[in-house]
Each structure stands twice: as C-alpha cells, then as structure tokens.
Amino acid sequence: MSLSTNDLKNGMTLALEGTLFQVVEFQHVKPGKGGAFVRTKLRNVRLGTTVEKTFRADEKVEQAVIDKREMQYLYAEGDEMVFMDTQTYDQMQVPPKSLGDAAGYLLEGNTAVLQMYGDEIVGVDLPASVEMEVTYTEPGLQGDRSSAGRKPATIQTGLTIQVPLFVNTGDRIKVDTRTGEYITRV
C-alpha cells in the first residue's frame, strides 16, 4: 500500500529497499528556501538497527501491512515451537530464533501476539511480565534479604536471569519480559 511521507506516523512499518523499517520518529521540515522534506528515524525490523533517512515532502513510500495474530504456544517439536492460531486453530511451526528473546518467556499454553508480514514473523508482543519457576540456582543465604547481591538463576524455559540472593530453587518469580529482569517472588 503506497502512502505519502506527509502521512507518516510513529509505529508505522514501511517496506523500503527490500527491508522492513518501523518509524521511530519523524519531523516535517519546511526551510525558508527550497522544498519541504521529512526527516525520519527508522528501525530495521529484522536487525534492530536504527537509521536516519530524509524524504522529500509528499514522496511516495510503501507501507508494509503487518498482520497481528494471537497465537497459543502448544509444544516444542524438535528444534521448532508449535503455535496455534486462536481464531482459525491453524498450527504453525516456528524456529525459536525468529521469535528473538521472546522464546525464553513462553511456556506451553501461553499466548503471544505474533506480528506477521506475509509468512514471516517480524515481531512478538508478550505480556509485560510472566510468572516462572526457578529450576536451578545456588542455595540462598539464610536471613539474607538484601536486594544488593545478585546471583544467576535458571527459569523453567532454560533462560538464565539475575535474581536476589534469597531466591531458591522451586520459587515462583515474576520476570519483566521487556528487560529480562527479576521483579518479585510470587
């Protein structure tokens, strides 16, 4: 779908030079001399890098249509994760690398919103935090309730995060999915 650079909004996804870019910020500039232009900061959806690009005002760019689908993670099969569309019940096998960091926070039965561009996953929306069980960590020191000390802990998805010294194996904790940080014990 073609649109004018005058109609850009933050969060829009554009198909430029064979790659997908998300508009992080934009600014319309009308200098005293010469034509107006639009200065943008774009994030490469696949690589995560940010570039700055300038367009002529009213230049046509291609908007990428991103389909957001709510999917439920069913189980792991070999090296892939099997998801089911909650609307159509269609199943889809997804390699964990296409989910990025989100794969470390998904348990069987959890739902996530997968952002799709055609058949390609270009993003994953997770809840802000998830509850996980600590499967392994060094024993905590009795009476140590300070939050100053940290130690590594493995959660049930296999991801290792830093937790306070008083967290033990078997504890349920809340983890921030955006930063990977410990929030609290549950």
Q: Is 10 exposed, middle or buried (0-12, 13-18, 19+ CB in 10 A)?
A: exposed
Taking the C-alpha atoms of residue 65 and residue 75, their distance in angstroms, rounded to an integer, is 29
Q: What is the DSSP string of 130-176?
A: EEEEEEEEPPPPTT---SS-EEEEEETTS-EEEEETT--TT-EEEEE
Q: What pLDDT is recorded for position 120?
A: 86
Domain range summary for the chain, segments of one domain joined by +:
2-63, 67-125, 129-185
* 2-63 carries CATH number 1.25.10.10: no
Residue indicated by tokens 């937790």? 163
According to CATH, the topology of domain 129-185 is OB fold (Dihydrolipoamide Acetyltransferase, E2P) (2.40.50)
Candidate CATH numbers 2.40.50.140, 3.40.190.10, 3.10.580.10, 1.10.150.80; the one for domain 67-125: 2.40.50.140
Residues ≥6 apart with Cβ < 8 Å to 7: none
Q: What pLDDT is recorded for position 141?
A: 63
Q: What pLDDT is recorded for position 100?
A: 84
Q: What pLDDT is recorded for position 165?
A: 86
Q: What pLDDT is recorded for position 146?
A: 57
Paired tokens of 178: 């955006």
Cβ atoms of 102 and 126 within 8 Å: the answer is yes
Same fold yes or no, 2-63 and 67-125: no
Residue type, 50: T
Cβ atoms of 24 and 10 within 8 Å: the answer is yes
Q: Specify the DSSP class assigned to residue 36.
A: -
Cβ atoms of 110 and 74 within 8 Å: the answer is no
> How far is residue 166 from each of residues 35, 81, 151, 172, 182, measured CA to CA in Å?
62, 33, 9, 12, 12
Residue-by-residue pLDDT tens, the chain, 186 positions: 889 999 999 989 999 988 999 999 999 999 988 889 999 999 998 888 999 999 999 999 999 999 999 999 999 999 999 999 999 999 999 998 888 888 899 999 999 999 999 888 888 899 999 999 999 998 866 555 555 688 999 999 999 999 988 889 999 999 999 899 999 998
Paired tokens of 158: 């296999």
